[in-house]
Amino acid sequence: MELLRIDTERCVRCGLCAQVCPLVIITQDEEGLPAERENTASRCINCGHCVSVCPTGALGTVHSSPEDCTPLSPKDLLDTDAAFRLFGMRRSVRRYLPEPIPPAELDRILETAHMAPSASNLRPVRWTVVEGAERLHRIAAACVETMRGSGNDFYAGFVRAFDKGHDVILRGCTTLVTAHSGPEFPWGQVDCVIAATHLELAASVCGYGACWAGFVMRAAQNSDEVREALGLPEGHAAHACMMLGRPALRYARIPSRGPVPVRRFAD
Ligand SMILES: Cc1cc2nc3c(=O)[nH]c(=O)nc-3n(C[C@H](O)[C@H](O)[C@H](O)COP(=O)(O)O)c2cc1C
């Protein structure tokens, strides 16, 4: 099957599609039109770059057409200061209001996270959403049991606080989102962490709080009960767990993180 769909009337023969194809599948024929290199179409990773870069919407592939894409114009660029503030303003939120996140808003946040990069564009990340105070408490309690049985002193204070009714595991969040992937994806863990990072930022933009649930991730490695309560499919690893909810507080300033520890080399 041919990979490319070319509207020769619209194509301006700029060659940008060939320049951006990461698998070097696209070249230009003698007329300057996009052409597939012989026997390369099966390598296409459906990244959509050729379709996205085409200035006239002349190019589609068997996987995607310009009509499936969201148009972009230079005015869609974010104001730099606002964008940088967004990164600085994100905080790990540990106090939440009891109101759940409206499903449409959570869907939008997940759709944004789904745009995150993934190795070879394999998009291995699967999401599992848990809501409901009872089920969330079950997850937190199962985590605490793994801590209690670990013999690790570091956990003692957390276990004591939880036993006194303070949820130091899930912090009263209303939603717990897990990014997981199957063992067939060697970059699954990295892809999940990247996607969850996008999720955290998207939630922050929408006015929701988020916090990595590291205790849950650790407990899920050792406890079938935690994995079962998280609703993970067989064989999947919980590579990223994120608490979400409406924050019960606002931060008044961005904390200082000191100088960036960077090393530089140049010719
Ligand atoms: C992988 C990872 C796991 C984390 N696990 C937890 C956790 O289980 N509980 C918690 O309260 N915070 C957790 N955090 C949040 C960190 O403590 C937090 O990012 C750090 O203190 C810096 O604060 P900030 O995120 O507001 O900049 C985790 C963060 C990361 C990246």
Q: Which of 12-21, 74-83, 203-212, 238-247 has the lowest mean pLDDT?
A: 74-83
What is the distance between the alpha carbons of residues 78 and 211, in angstroms, rounded to a whole number? Answer: 25
The residue whose C-alpha atom lies closest to atom 31 belonging to ligand 1 is: 212
- Per-residue pLDDT, averaged over 232-244, amounts to 97
The pLDDT value recorded for residue 15 is 98
C-alpha to C-alpha distance for 235 and 229, rounded to whole angstroms: 15
Protein residue with least CA distance to atom 30, ligand 1: 212
**Quick check: CB of 8 below 6 Å from ligand 1?**
no
d(CA 232, CA 178): 8
Q: Say what the pLDDT of residue 236 is.
A: 96
Segment 29-39 mean pLDDT: 95
Which of 173, 212, 250 for a ligand 1 pocket mutation test, highest count of atoms within 8 Å of Cβ?
212
Q: How confident is the model at residue 233 (pLDDT cuts 50, 70, 90)?
A: very high
- Write the residue with the smallest CA distance to atom 4 of ligand 1: 214
- Whether 215 is in the pocket of ligand 1, judged by its Cβ within 6 Å, is yes
Q: Return all residues near 95 (Cβ < 8 A) that are at least 6 apart.
A: 171, 172, 209, 247, 248, 249
* d(CA 177, ligand 1 centre) in Å: 15
Please give the domain boundaries of the chain with CATH numbers for all domains. Answer: 4-68 (3.30.70.20), 83-245 (3.40.109.10)
Q: How confident is the model at residue 52 (pLDDT cuts 50, 70, 90)?
A: very high
pLDDT tops 90 at residue 74: no
- HSE at residue 11, side-chain half, CA atoms within 13 A, is 22
Is the C-beta atom of 127 inside 6 A of ligand 1? Answer: no
Q: Is the CB of 95 under 6 A from ligand 1?
A: no
Q: What is the pLDDT of residue 116?
A: 98
Residue range 185-206: mean pLDDT, rounded: 97
- What are 267's two structure tokens? 């010719």
Check pLDDT > 90 for residue 216. Answer: yes
CB 36 within 8 A of CB 2: yes
Q: How many residues does the chain have?
A: 267
How large is the average pLDDT for residues 158-182?
Answer: 98
Task: Give bridge partners of residue 5 from the DSSP assignment.
Answer: 60
**What does pLDDT average to over the chain?**
96
Q: Which two tokens stand for residue 47?
A: 């990244």
pLDDT at position 151 is 86
> What value, to the nearest 5°, has the Cα angle with vertex 221 and ends 220 and 227?
35
Tell me, using a 6 A CB cutoff, whether residue 92 lines ligand 1: yes
Tell me the percentage of the chain whose pLDDT exceeds 70: 100
- pLDDT > 80? residue 67: yes
pLDDT at 77: 85
In this prediction, residue 185 carries a pLDDT of: 97
Does the pTM exceed 0.85? yes
Percentage of the chain beyond pLDDT 90 is: 94
Query: Is a pLDDT exceeding 80 seen at residue 1?
Result: no
- Residue minimizing CA distance to atom 17 of ligand 1: 92
User: How far does residue 169's CA lie from ligand 1's centre (Å)?
Assistant: 11
Residue 255 Cα: closest atom of ligand 1: 27
Helix, strand, coil percent values for the chain (each to nearest 5): 40, 15, 45
